[in-house]
Amino acid sequence: MTEPAAPRPKPRRARGLPDRRGADLAVERQLISRVSKVYEDWGFEPLETPAFEYADALGKFLPDQDRPNEGVFAFEDDEEWVALRYDLTAPLARFVAENFDALPKPYRRWAAGPVWRNEKPGPGRFREFWQCDADTVGSASPAADAEMIAMACAAYSAVGLADGQFQIKFSTRKLLDAVLEKIGVAADAYSTRLVVLRAIDKFDRLGVKGVEALLGAGRKDESGDFTKGAGLDAAQAKAVLDLVGAGKGTRAEVLNRLAEIGGEAAIAELRAIDAALSALNVSEAQAQIDPTIVRGLEYYTGAVFEGQLIGGDGVFGSIGGGGRYDDLVARFRGERIPATGFSIGVSRLAAALQSKQAAQSDGPVLVLVMDQERVADALAMADELRRAGVRAETYLGAAGMKAQLKYADKRAAPIAIIQGGDELAKGVVTLKDLKLGAKIAAGLGEDREAYAKAREQVQQQAPRAQLVAAVQQMLAR
């Protein structure tokens, strides 16, 4: 009895949605496990919220609001709009607002999970990717911001980045607010502030000239598309550019330079973060003040951070970021609940780490099946090995010995176990050291004696009763 005939579907994925397998995925998982260990050590507890939320609960804070559905994947459920979460912060704000009375305050939580952005995918830019976040909700203290920076440093170290391979750059949006006030941009000029923020956010990519254009009338890109600017005059734009250009040198040097530009509250905040960073032993190389850092998401209200990977030739890309978002919970409750957090871009960091450390781990020991009538013997051997703590599998396809050894190779099996009729009669098994075999195949250099000895060692017999010990010995050599 078969299902009624249907047109055969194509096996394909919607664009920008990756499959990840084997070693690639293992790197991501290990990374999340190490980062979350750091978060736990710092006193953050885990939280998992659903993949989708009411659209009004998530809010609209993405930089690309001109995309379909304003950058999110939305659909109707029970006649209300819901959307896949675009980050882990907006759902946290909903969670805190919903459970405010029951939570310890400050509430410190970490979370790891996929987020979805309905954006144009590109190389290394996916529409589903993982983030691993920590947030402190209910603390207005700059020490909480400093903790985020220090903890991010600890997390990057924990995943194997050495000092000098990463750096956290931080600033506060209050610096810009002070400059905007000074140059007479009205405090309620909401959209002008946003356009200025986004212009600065593109500093890395567009440089001074590009930002200057976006602060003024606007900018035409290579494709001819025109982006409307903030409409500042030359003097106003210069004041913003002076701020953006103030970040060179040690934290103390930058602070002194910024103090001249002004913004008392901003400077006090940065000084307090700097002092806390020193208490937390965060070096100048690990964390610098950089006023070009403003972050793209709209909800940040104060301190902002960005983690960058330093390649051989300078900065290599963003591997995390965050900041203070004192108004996000207030959207629900009215009352302001100060909060700050840091998000590590798991997929990006994993990709960066993979180029640094090609994780080539061994597969399981493979027990071959030489005779389908004796599959039970092979199952029992694999079972014995596993019970002794050795990863092992039985070949369960229908192919012959040659194809089985090819399979062992594809699985990176370190050892193949073979028991044909002859071995069975003698009560022995054959162990094939596939790693050593591969080494020999790759050439053992000019040493003929070593070569001959190695060849001898590749294949070896052991009494069936000694299987586990023989495998363990071979694995250990």
Q: Which residues are annotated as a binding site?
A: 87-89, 117, 131, 135, 295, 299-300
* Binding-site size, its own copies (CB under 8 A): 116
Nearer to its own copies, 238 or 374 (CB): 374
Cis omega before residue 106 (within 30°)? Answer: yes
- As a whole number of angstroms, the distance between CA 425 and CA 439 comes to 32
User: Around 399, how many Cα atoms within 13 Å sit in the side-chain half-sphere?
Assistant: 12
Token output for 474: 């071979």
- In angstroms, the CA 287 to CA 290 distance is 9
Q: State which of positions 225-254 bind its own copies (CB under 8 A).
A: none
Which residue's CB is nearer to its own copies, number 120 or number 455? Answer: 120
| Smallest separation (angstroms) from its own copies to the CB of 404 | 11
Residue in 35, 119, 178, 193 binding its own copies, rule: CB under 8 A? 193
63 binds its own copies (CB under 8 A): no
Q: How far is the CB of 102 from its own copies (least distance, A)?
A: 9
363 secondary structure, DSSP code: -
174 belongs to the binding site for its own copies (CB under 8 A): no
Q: How far is CA 244 from CA 258, 300, 331, in A?
A: 10, 18, 30
Pairing of the two strands 415-418 and 428-433: antiparallel
Query: Does 146 sit near its own copies (CB under 8 A)?
Result: yes
Give me the 274-313 binding string for its own copies, x by CB under 8 A, dash otherwise: -xx-xxxx----------------x---------------
Question: Alpha-carbon distance 324 to 355, whole Å?
Answer: 32
Residues composing the chain: 477
Q: Is 10 in the site for its own copies (CB under 8 A)?
A: yes
In the region spanning residues 411 to 450, those forming contacts with its own copies, defined by CB under 8 A, are 411
Are the C-beta atoms of residues 200 and 151 closer than 8 Å to each other? no
Contacts of 255 (CB under 8 A, 6+ apart): 267, 270, 271, 274, 289
- Residue 459 makes CB contacts below 8 A (sequence gap 6+) with 430, 431, 432, 433
Rg (CA), the chain: 29
Contact call for residue 122 and its own copies (CB under 8 A):
no
- Considering the rule CB under 8 A, would residue 133 count as an interface residue with its own copies? no
Q: How far is the CB of 287 from its own copies (least distance, A)?
A: 14
Q: Which residues, 70 to 99, sit near its own copies by CB under 8 A?
A: 73-75, 77-78, 80, 82, 84, 94-95, 97-99
Closest to its own copies by CB, 108 vs 219, is: 108
Q: Which residues contact 377 (CB under 8 A, 6 or more apart)?
A: 419, 424
Q: Is 334 in the site for its own copies (CB under 8 A)?
A: yes
Instruction: Kindly tell me which of 283 and 457 has the beta carbon lying closer to its own copies.
Output: 283
Considering only 40, 221, 233, 371, the residue that binds its own copies (CB under 8 A) is: 40
Comparison of 380 and 454: residue with beta carbon closer to its own copies: 380
Q: Find the shortest distance in angstroms from Cβ 188 to its own copies.
A: 6
Check residue 331 for interaction with its own copies (CB under 8 A): yes
* Distance of alpha carbon 49 from alpha carbon 47, whole angstroms: 7
Nearer to its own copies (CB atom), residue 308 or residue 419: 419
Helix (H, G, I), strand (E, B) or coil at 140: coil
- As annotated, the binding site for L-histidine includes 87-89, 117, 131, 135, 295, 299-300
Please give the residues from 346 up to 405 whose contact with its own copies meets the rule CB under 8 A: 363-364, 366, 372, 375-377, 379-380, 382-383, 386, 391-399
CA distance 396 to 375: 8
